[in-house]
Structure 1
Amino acid sequence: MSRTLARRASAEFAGTALLVTAVVGSGITAARLSPGDVGLQLLENAIATAFALGALILMVGPVSGAHLNPVVSAVDWWLGRRAGTGLTGPDLAGYAVAQVAGAIAGAVLANVMFDLSPVAWASTPRTGGNLLLAEVVATAGLVVLIVALARSGRTAAASAAVGAYIGAAYWFTSSTSFANPAVTVGRAFTDTFAGIAPSSVPGFVAAQLVGGLVAVAAIAAWYPHPERAADAVVVPPLAEETARP
């Protein structure tokens, strides 16, 4: 791994870890502060997640682009693969590994901060075709939003727009919008409000990958020459971070 990729992957690791820490930690806090009121717990969890995601995009975006999501990284690679823009194949592999590892680390960190067992497999099943459809919708919408912002030169709004979308999708999808394979894996490591049983993870991840494919089809139909935006997903990294070693 090159020094440049290592630096960018470390940012993806840290950003994804802190995102999952925010999701899990705010879920634990919500369950403790608002026992018996699931609606209020979800509202508290959604607000904290949306704000944290927006802040993390601002923090790690200048280093890695703040993908924080293997589907976003895969679509970025796909869009730019022929034009030499966006992620390379090795970049994609490095990002995906860092994102999944970061998500697991983030769940462990949240567990420890709240005096729980570092690893406790989630016991909350999330099954059913309606939830899988919701993950397709949530993931497709997220990816199209990100590419639309990049393609139209509005990446300055990405932190607010992406945070707002995820916060809203907590409520308009029946799955509460995981929309991220790495985050899904990480949330299997915590038996708390935000957890997902390991047996439910493959279905969610498969649905998220389908959502990515739906997004690619929509992008091809709606945004001519999307490869021109691949270097700016989610936000454009600083020039020195994208230079080839």
Structure 2
Amino acid sequence: MAFDLRRRLAAEFLGTAILVATVVGSGIMADSLSQDVAVSLLGNTIPTGAILVVLISILGPISGAHFNPAVTMVFATRRELEASAAALYVLTQIAGGIAGTLVAHAMFDHDLFQMSQTIRTGGGQWIAETVATFGLVFTILAGLRFRSDAIPWLVGLYITAAYWFTASTSFANPAVAIARAFSNTFAGIRPMDVPGFIVAEILGALVATAVVGWLLADRNPSPSPIKLKGAE
């Protein structure tokens, strides 16, 4: 990459912090403006999809705009990111996510440090997170192959849709799941439910990587015709 590791890590911290601040902050705002859960969810969905388009567009050229340990893991397994750099990416993303939660609380004059009481557990939630992360990683990898210029919009639109077709509202990101455990608001998740989400997210990412690796593999080239010695 053109940028050194320090700048890449700074971009990952900043991007994840802004992403989580948007998720948590828009959830607080939406919940305060409406008693209708569907309206509140819509008010949480649109800003999240929109900020992803912005963040990937402006920070992607610096760090790759992962903002997500599952995505970083995928690029590490594909040997497109060094293991040591990947580990630092993950730690930075988690730290950035928690910072984003604290900033959102500060903006809305909430207690900075909270622990969520929102229950998000069970088979349906875990399947939803597996599906959500599978779709996200599939979108990224296929997008990079066919429409790399459209990645910001592809990811933003996918997450916007996944908020509504998954039972979990599509966290699809271990750093975001951890950060949201520190917010007892509309966007929160109970800390004891986070490990199940993370396992499901990693599983979804790995399955997507395998499927894309098979689906988009180059076809075997046609064998060259054998020419007989002395033939024209």
Q: TM-score, normalised by structure 2?
A: 0.91
The Cα shift of 1:216 comes to 1.6
Distance in 1 separating the partners of 2:191 and 2:33: 27
Instruction: Give the match for residue 99 of structure 2.
Output: 105
Distance in 2 separating the partners of 1:189 and 1:216: 30
Structure 2 residue ranges without an equivalent (≥5): 219-232
Q: Where do 1:1-245 residues align within 5 Å?
A: 4-34=4-34, 36-79=35-78, 81=79, 86-152=80-146, 154-224=147-217
Instruction: Give the match for residue 224 of structure 2.
Output: none
Please say if residues 5 and 94 of structure 1, whose CA atoms lie closer than 8 Å, have aligned partners that are also in contact. no
Distance in 1 separating the partners of 2:214 and 2:111: 48
| Letter of the structure 1 residue corresponding to residue 69 of structure 2 | P
The Cα shift of 1:151 comes to 1.6
**Which protein has the larger Cα radius of gyration, Structure 1 or Structure 2?**
2
The Cα shift of 1:17 comes to 0.3
Distance in 2 separating the partners of 1:4 and 1:42: 38
Distance in 2 separating the partners of 1:108 and 1:12: 17
SS of residue paired to 1:10: helix
| Letter of the structure 2 residue corresponding to residue 15 of structure 1 | G
Q: Which has the higher contact order (CA 8 A, sep 6+)?
A: 1
SS of residue paired to 2:189: coil
Distance in 2 separating the partners of 1:73 and 1:42: 28
Identity over the aligned pairs, expressed in percent? Answer: 51
The Cα shift of 1:25 comes to 0.2
Q: TM-score, normalised by structure 1?
A: 0.86
Runs of at least 4 residues of structure 1 off by over 2 A?
none
Instruction: Give the match for residue 234 of structure 1.
Output: none
The Cα shift of 1:90 comes to 1.1
The Cα shift of 1:193 comes to 0.2
Please say if residues 138 and 173 of structure 1, whose CA atoms lie closer than 8 Å, have aligned partners that are also in contact. yes
Distance in 2 separating the partners of 1:163 and 1:220: 23
Deviations 1:131-160 (A, max 9, x none): 0000000001100110001122x1111111
Distance in 2 separating the partners of 1:111 and 1:190: 8
